[in-house]
Amino acid sequence: MNPYDIKGPYNPHPPKPQPKKRPLELGMEQLAGVQHIIAVASGKGGVGKSTVAVNLAVTLARLGYKVGLADADVYGPSIPTMTGTEDEIPDVEVYDEMGEPLPEEAEITEDCKEIMIPVEKYGVKWMSIGYFARPEQALIWRGPMACNALKQMLLQVKWGELDYLLIDLPPGTGDIHISLVHDIPLTGAIIVTTPQTVALADVEKCVNMFRNPQVNKPILGIIENMSWFTPAELPENRYYIFGRDGGQLIADKYGIDLLGQIPLVQSVREGGDDGTPAALQDGPLYDAMHAAADALTSGD
C-alpha cells in the first residue's frame, strides 16, 4: 500500500529535488585567477602612462609572467594603436541566465550575459573599449556610463590565470578613479610621472587619492618617465631635458619606492605609433623596463 497516502502511482524512489541553479552574476569571478591587479595612474595627462603600461606588460611577458592589460581610458583609448591591434574585434561568449553557454541558434535575450575574450598579441592579453568603437568616434559619455564601460572592460572579460593584470587609467583623480578603486580588488597602484615640478604637483594629488582613507590602496611604486634623453647614436649620453630626479624627490617625500627611471628614446615614440612596443627589442628602453619589472616583482 501507499504509506504516504499520496494520490497517483506509488514511487518508492522519488527523484531528489534538484538544487536550483543560481543565475550567473557578473561579480568578480573573471578576476578570480588573477594574482595581482595593478592600476597604472598619473595625476597629469601625457606623461607616458599608456606607454609605460604597454611596455611594462610586454616586459613582464618577456620575463615569463602571464600578463593582461585593461585599457581603462574609456574616453581616449590608446592601447589598440600602441599594440597594433586596432583591427581586432574580440570574440564574445554568451551565457544564458543560468550560466550555461547559449547554443548558437538560440536567441540572445536581456537575461543573457556576455563575456569578452581578450585580444592576444606579444604574449599579453589586451582589452580596450577601442575595439568596440571606431577611432574617429568620439566617446562622449556621462560619468555613470563611463564607469559602467570601465567595469565591463574589467569584469566581463575572460582573463583566465594571470600573474599581473595592469589597468591603464585615464589621467586625473576623478569619478572614474574613485569608482574603480571602490569596485575592483586592486593590489595597488603604480604612479607615473615626469621629472618636472609641474608634473610632480599632480603626482602628489594622485598619491593623496590612493592614500585617502576612503580609498586606501597601497602605492607599489613610482616610475619616472622621460627621465633623460638618450640619442640612438650616443647611447651613453644623457640629457636631462625635463629636469632631474623629480621622481626620487616624491618617492622620498612620501616614503614610496622609485621602481625605475625610463629614458626618452625615439624608438619608444615610434613603437607606440606603429604598434610595436619598444620593449619587444633589446635596448635602453627594455633595460629600464626590466629593472622596473624586477623592482615590482621582487615585492611579491
Ligand X SMILES: Nc1ncnc2c1ncn2[C@@H]1O[C@H](COP(=O)(O)OP(=O)(O)OP(=O)(O)O)[C@@H](O)[C@H]1O
Binding site for ligand X (CB under 6 A): 42, 45-51, 73, 76, 78, 171, 225-226, 262, 264-265, 268-269, 272
For the bound state, the minimum distance from the C-beta of residue 73 to Mg ion, rounded and expressed in Å, comes to 5
Name the binder of 269 from ligand X, Mg ion, none, CB < 5-8 A by kind: ligand X
Name the binder of 171 from Mg ion, ligand X, none, CB < 5-8 A by kind: ligand X
Name the binder of 173 from ligand X, Mg ion, none, CB < 5-8 A by kind: none
> Taking CB under 5 A as the rule, does residue 227 contact Mg ion?
no
* Minimum CB distance to ligand X smaller for 30 or for 196: 196
For the bound state, the minimum distance from the C-beta of residue 213 to Mg ion, rounded and expressed in Å, comes to 28
Query: What CA–CA distances, in Å, run from 58 to 36, 55, 65, 82?
Result: 16, 5, 10, 12
For the bound state, the minimum distance from the C-beta of residue 48 to Mg ion, rounded and expressed in Å, comes to 8
* Minimum CB distance to ligand X smaller for 78 or for 187: 78
Q: Which stretch binds Mg ion (CB under 5 A): 19-27, 73-81, 181-189, 227-235?
A: 73-81
Distance CA 45, CA 171 (A): 5
Name the binder of 258 from ligand X, Mg ion, none, CB < 5-8 A by kind: none
For the bound state, the minimum distance from the C-beta of residue 129 to ligand X, rounded and expressed in Å, comes to 13
* Minimum CB distance to ligand X smaller for 165 or for 268: 268
- The three state secondary structure string of the chain is CCCCCCCCCCCCCCCCCCCCCCCCCCCCHHHCCEEEEEEEECCCCCCCHHHHHHHHHHHHHHCCCCEEEEECCCCCCCHHHHCCCCCCCCCEEEECCCCCECCCCCCCCCCCEEEECCEEECCEEEEEHHHCCCCCCCCCCCHHHHHHHHHHHHHCECCCCEEEEEEECCCCCCHHHHHHHHHCCCCEEEEEECCCHHHHHHHHHHHHHHHCCCCCCCEEEEEEEEEEECCCCCCCCCECCCCCCHHHHHHHHHCCCEEEEEEECHHHHHHHHHCCCHHHCCCHHHHHHHHHHHHHHCCC
Among 41, 42, 44, 50, binds Mg ion (CB under 5 A): 50
* Minimum CB distance to ligand X smaller for 118 or for 283: 283
Distance CA 282, CA 160 (A): 29
# binding residues, Mg ion (CB under 5 A): 3
Binding mask 77-96 for Mg ion (x = CB under 5 A): -x------------------
* Minimum CB distance to ligand X smaller for 57 or for 264: 264
For the bound state, the minimum distance from the C-beta of residue 154 to ligand X, rounded and expressed in Å, comes to 17
* Minimum CB distance to Mg ion smaller for 119 or for 167: 167
